[in-house]
Structure 1
């Protein structure tokens, strides 16, 4: 088991990049092997230890919510393009616009290209569309490295297949995957994970060897984590 030397996040097996900060994994910075196989589990059971969670694949729930948020943006893109095309062909109505035939096809085609560009740019740059940012999830490569523009393009272009029958195809593939991957994820070699929380400055971080590291805050204050604070949803307390 190893941890990121930059932010302290627990790394998945054979990871080349940290899924939290994107930093390259340094072999020299890997934590030493535990003397006993259950040493880490015993430390997790001890109160007062803030253990950084491991990589966690996201299922249908949060992905559905994130996509609903993104659909609002996609609808805005469609409406703006539709109004522009309708204004050119005289299809503007009191309720919005009405298009048929070629203008309708042009509107749908331009909307798809613009929406694909939205997902590709946001996920290709930091792994998060607006919906994923709101729900705290992100897209990364299967090995934990950041999602590339090429991967973002592939996984979102294949929404044409995953989205068939009101996303029934994507839902079935996610449910049958041990890493919750739809077709776009499998072809692009990406996964959707919960974004790991980076330990706050001035807090204790317990690594694989059990030795805590602490940083002091401003003045004489020292921040630390407690089991009570974690249960109450608080990251740190000041002394």
Structure 2
């Protein structure tokens, strides 16, 4: 695999709040739609008028979430929502003195992708307020999942300019 190093002088991170919100809505609309269809198709009615799934059937929504977030990001370099709005997550590496960073145009590791999406519920809490606050107040416009996964999110158009 050819690896392209992109430095901060050539690659500028921006908050892209609107695009990131839209990407999250697309991704989680697909996930929640699957969940509700699956719940009504395979769930059993309970005493409170709802449905529940138990046993091994309960793993399917979790596996689907992993497939739609981590899996798609591993195979295609970005989730469906990020691809539609022109965003791409990238791995970052800090210099020895922590004064600069470089992004690499390689696919994220499984661990990085998993960390990014494991914190989605926190970043999306209260209509995304936590994610928006952290994106606006971090040097590289990262949400909590990006900080933990050591990633940044950039516009794909910026990648083409930096090459």
Alignment TM-score, normalising by the size of structure 1: 0.52
Q: Which residue of 2 is the match for residue 141 of structure 1?
A: 91
How far does residue 124 in structure 1 lie from its aligned partner after superposition?
Answer: 2.2
Q: For 1:53-111, what per-residue CA distance to the aligned partner results, in whole angstroms no more than 9, with x for missing partners?
A: x323242121111112212211222123212333xx257xxxxxx525xx168888753
Give the CA RMSD over aligned residues.
3.2
How far does residue 160 in structure 1 lie from its aligned partner after superposition?
Answer: 2.6
Q: How many residues align?
A: 145
| Aligned equivalents of 1:134, 1:188: Cα separation in 2 | 22
How far does residue 128 in structure 1 lie from its aligned partner after superposition?
Answer: 0.8
1:99 to 31, 35, 50: 50
Structure whose CA Rg is larger: 1
Q: Does 1:166 align with 2:117?
A: no
Q: Which residue of 2 is the match for residue 216 of structure 1?
A: none
2:143 to 176, 182, 194: 182
| Aligned equivalents of 1:169, 1:108: Cα separation in 2 | 29
2:153 to 174, 183, 192: 192
Quick one: structure 1 residues 99 and 151, their matched pair in 2 at CA, closer, same or farther if it must change by over 3 Å? same
| Aligned equivalents of 1:181, 1:105: Cα separation in 2 | 36
More strand by share: 2
User: Which blocks of at least 5 consecutive residues in structure 1 are unaligned?
Assistant: 1-5, 15-53, 92-97, 200-206, 208-239
User: Which blocks of at least 5 consecutive residues in structure 2 are unaligned?
Assistant: 93-101
1:214-225 map, 5 Å: none
| Aligned equivalents of 1:113, 1:58: Cα separation in 2 | 32
More helix by share: 2
